[in-house]
Chain A
Amino acid sequence: MTVAGLAASFGSGAMTNSLDEIEFADVILAIGTNTTENHPIAGSKVKRAVRQLGAKLIVIDPRDIALTRYAELWLRPKPGTNVAVINGIMNGIVSEGLHNREYIEKRTEGFAALEEVLKKYTPEHVERISGVPADDIRKAARLYASGKKSSILYCMGVTQHSTGTDGVKSVANLSMLCGFVGIESGGVNPLRGQSNVQGACDMGALPATFPSYQQVANDEMRARFEKAWGVSLSGKPGLTVVEIMNAAHEGRIKGVYVMGENLMLSDPDLHHVEESLKKLELLVVQDLFLSDTAKLAHVVLPAANFAEKDGTFTNTERRVQRVRKAVEPPGEAKPDWLIVSELSARMGYGMKYGSPREIMDEIARVTPSYAGINYRRIERRGLQWPCLNAEHPGTKFLHRDRFTRGLGLFAAIEYKPSAELPDGDYPFYLTTGRVLYHYHTGTMTRLSRGPMERYPESLVEINPEDAWNLKLEDGEFVMVTSRRGSVKAKAWVTNRSPKGTVFMNFHFPEAAANLLTNPALDPIGKIPEYKVCAVKVEKAAADILERTEAPAKVQAAK
């Protein structure tokens, strides 16, 4: 995942630069990010950079996403070959001597090993792996290196692979190779999917780290929290989501407390998740709705949503911004912070806070990067961490004169194929993601009139040539089957999908793409391979009643 990959390369696992800076880059390389649909406002900044300020855009994506219309150069690799493509670009840069030798010398380490690995990734070799023409790889190399300020944007198209951490380290390599980390409008910029992913990570909702990425296994760091919290703490790193599910399946985990997530739609290989959850002696789910996960719970607690409570979110550019209570929660629903603190008191560990403001004051005391943040300071405008003390103005871009870890670390990375590739039985690639009109597991957007009007049901995007071979017409039903399950949904015949690849979103429980996806994990980031698995696609009989005119309307979405 992003945190692990960037932390290894730079010492800090977050977007290096700010959203506003994107607009002023000379070259933008967008890889594995369907920015205009998943981060529309960031997408507008990219488009403005191109249309109004003449920036050059390189898009690397198997799908014909809207950004390709703004691109100077579009590389369309086979799914799962990002690492090879980036190595190819770096090979091109090094072989033409376009890398920034002075920067590499002064600010980084590990270059020799990378250079050695890069040798075999000639554009021709990479063409054979990825299907991207060698010439385009060379062009991308020249274009990226030619910028004074070249910015890399990426998203889950890079991370959601069994080699996701490798992908992240590769983009970090590329940026350092040309000396673009630590300058305004440059850098390596992961666009984070959910409103507060960055904050959840920063706050230590991770098995191995306390707030601010302080290791639980580090005695000194742990001692600090033991003192602050007045208890003794375990130094053994915990399990990740997918490992927790596996452990539940094996009976090693007996009780799971879920705050605000719907595992039954978001996790890979849903059959397995369901079996695991059913084995638990205690499943507590705290959510807005009776989600599919909540339906399996022993106790369900009604929670408040973001409009019903005070607090903060940390956006993708590390900016801590206020969330404000506008309306009362319905019935007896309560904000999550209140539920957790009341329950904790019952368990004999009192956590008494009068308001989220007080919690933030405690966060500032134990989280060095948030030390200077309080509600008064962020009343009008958020602050970007690191914000080290009450006078610190926050940090617009990271690693200016020095990387957080000292020197930037190149990682020599070999391309490894995805865990599951198409074969005779399952001849198609399936790649998954989100669409503009919906969000995550859809629990919120599927209840909204507008988004549902525009995108009312799950669609499987399939290339016209493939559709022709399957004698499939736009709007007809297909059955998509992987080694783990089958899903029926309507086909959208479109050139957005390359030949041999189908795309599905994971917003709809009736056609849950994650019944199909492969839970193969990235060994370091522990992110499942949502972006690549092998499926077969067959035409399915339509339920007359299910037919609507939807596809014609959503076509406009592009």
Chain B
Amino acid sequence: MNKISLTINGKKIEAVPGQTVLEVARENGIDIPTLCYYPGTKLVGACRVCVVEIEGQRCLAASCAMPVSPGMVVRTDTPRVVEAQKMVVELLWASGDHNCLVCEANGNCELQDLVYRFKIEKPRFPIEPPGYPVERSNTMIQRDLNKCILCGRCIRVCNEIQVNEVLDFSERGSRMKVGPAFDADYIDSNCVFCGACVDACPTGAIVNRQSRFEGRPWELKKVRTTCGYCGVGCQMDLNLHEGRIVKVTGSRDHGTPNYGSLCVKGRFGMDFIHHPSRLKKPLIREGGELREASWDEAYSYIADRMSAIKAKHGPDSLAGLSSARCTNEENYLFQKFIRAAVGTNNVDHCARL
């Protein structure tokens, strides 16, 4: 492909036609802040945090939506640019209830990061939150639109990536809001609780309600794994706090097959892991009842009886059922056990496909 060259902050840079100024800058290690930008969705250039100065243009341009052109001269760090960015951040701050003391996103908030980056002590405008009630109508997702900066990321991820087509803007001007049609609560809408909007929201406006007060972002350890439910095999991060899974998040960095998306089962279906009714000790039937036993006793019981049945009726009187929920390693070992140790091919699993 023909490359074109341009200059950003005095540095000569090669780019592919069709790329945006933002993409090219980031590829070359030049950091431009963004809020509404969300790769994989339509470029809206709405928040204007990513503005840059382009030589020969009177107005500042939103770099996320500005395609590169040959010979372009871009500056991302002039006082005019920084002043405009600060202004945007201050306005967003002032128009909401951004009280980090009680916000679940504290430490994981892109607005907070920008306030810090631009060293803003206090917005120069009066703080006037809209005063919406906080939505706690379901156990999974909590919404506080007083923290919403109207970036539209939740809407785009719901419509363009998940294609669940639930969220949209409603009303206009200062009463503009995001949410399901008719301003319904999530639980009364056709939301399928995939939680993509939670992962996409840059602030604390949409949060996972189940992990509220279950650990600060910097205390959580993430372990990447593969979802244990359906055959798509989504890559996900189990978020741990003090040895317990407190929530599940997607990560776009993990790539295929799900590129950070999850469904309700992967996101909110993990309570069983720490459920109190989990089996914790081997059980052996005695006098009609199951009683607790040691592993040693259980192994001996099974080995003795299997050997006895095998001796009396032959190996084909025994059978093993493996599981499509166990790992490859376990399935391999199980069929090896049944075939090599027990001596029969009576081994199957319960797949229904």
Contacts and interface: CB of A to CB of B under 8 A. Distances in A.
Interface string A200-214: 111111111011000
A279 to B, nearest CB: 12
Interface in B276-325: 277-285, 290, 295, 298-303, 305-307, 309, 313, 315-325
B284 A298 contact: yes
B224 interface: yes
A320 interface: yes
B324 A197 contact: yes
Contacts of A444: 228-229, 269, 272
Contacts of A216: 339, 345
Interface string A315-333: 1110111111111101111
Contacts of B232: 19, 39-42, 191, 315-316
Nearest to A331: B280
Given A233-B340, A290-B279, A327-B245, A439 B321 contact: no
B322 A205 contact: yes
Given A207-B347, A254-B318, A305-B228, A330 B278 contact: yes
Interface hub of A202, A324, A326, A356 (most chain B Cβ within 10 A): A326
B343 A234 contact: yes
Contacts of B108: none
Nearest to B240: A326
A439 B269 contact: yes
A210 B343 CA distance: 13
B193 A454 contact: yes
Contact of B317 (A255, A314, A439): A255
B176 interface: no
Contacts of B263: 40-41, 436
B124 interface: no
Given A203-B332, A282-B302, A557-B190, A328 B243 contact: yes
B163 A229 contact: no
Contact of B238 (A211, A234, A322, A326): A326
A445 interface: yes
Contacts, number: 486
B327 A311 contact: yes
Contacts of A440: 325
Contact of B347 (A205, A248, A317): A205
Indicate the size class of the contact surface on chain B: 35 or more
A196 B327 contact: yes
B334 A340 contact: yes
Identify whether the interface residues of B are mostly helix, strand, loop, or mixed: mixed
Contacts of A337: 327, 329-330, 333
Interface in B258-277: 258, 261-265, 267-275, 277
B106 interface: no
B351 interface: yes
Contacts of B340: 229, 231, 233, 349
Nearest to B310: A255
A464 interface: no
Interface string B231-246: 1111100101001110
Nearest to B163: A47
A115 interface: no
Contacts of A231: 340
Interface residues of A, number: 153
Contacts of B231: 39, 191-198, 315-316
Contacts of B342: 347
A450 B351 contact: no
Given A195-B228, A263-B321, A302-B280, A313 B233 contact: yes
B20 interface: no
Interface string B336-350: 111111111111111
B15 interface: no
Interface in A174-228: 190-208, 210-211, 216, 225
A550 to B, nearest CB: 12
Chain A interface secondary structure, helix, strand, loop or mixed? mixed
Contacts of A317: 233, 257
B221 to A, nearest CB: 8
A514 B163 CA distance: 33
Contact of A195 (B229, B270, B290): B229
A300 B293 CA distance: 10
Given A229-B340, A327-B240, A207 B346 contact: yes
B304 to A, nearest CB: 9
A53 to B, nearest CB: 12
Interface stretch (A56-64, A238-246, A471-479, A491-499): A238-246
A130 to B, nearest CB: 22
A433 B39 CA distance: 35
Contacts of B324: 193-197, 199-200
Given A254-B309, A302-B281, A200 B318 contact: no
Contacts of A376: none
B269 A332 contact: no
A444 B271 CA distance: 8
B28 interface: no
B83 interface: no
A389 interface: no
Given A205-B347, A244-B346, A302-B280, A44 B161 contact: yes
A18 B10 CA distance: 44
Interface stretch (A152-160, A408-416, A421-429, A534-542): A152-160
A314 B319 CA distance: 24
**Residue with the highest number of chain A CB atoms closer than 10 Å, among B223, B232, B265, B338:** B232
A208 to B, nearest CB: 7
A548 B279 CA distance: 31
Interface string A482-502: 000000000000000000000
B261 A41 contact: yes
Contacts of A120: none
B327 to A, nearest CB: 3
A253 B346 contact: yes
Given A44-B163, A194-B324, A451-B269, A322 B226 contact: yes
A287 interface: yes
A445 B333 CA distance: 27
B323 A448 contact: no
B328 A238 contact: no
Given A200-B351, A347-B342, A447-B277, A326 B333 contact: no
A553 B301 CA distance: 49
B227 interface: yes
Contacts of B321: 241, 244, 256-259, 261, 263
| 4 pairs of A and B residues whose beta carbons are closest in the complex | A331-B280, A315-B233, A311-B327, A238-B345
16 contacts: A40-B264, A41-B257, A44-B261, A199-B324, A211-B335, A244-B348, A255-B309, A257-B338, A282-B302, A300-B279, A301-B279, A320-B328, A327-B274, A333-B278, A436-B265, A447-B275
Given A40-B230, A300-B279, A331-B280, 12 more contacts: A197-B351, A210-B335, A236-B316, A282-B305, A282-B306, A305-B272, A311-B330, A327-B273, A328-B243, A330-B274, A341-B337, A344-B341
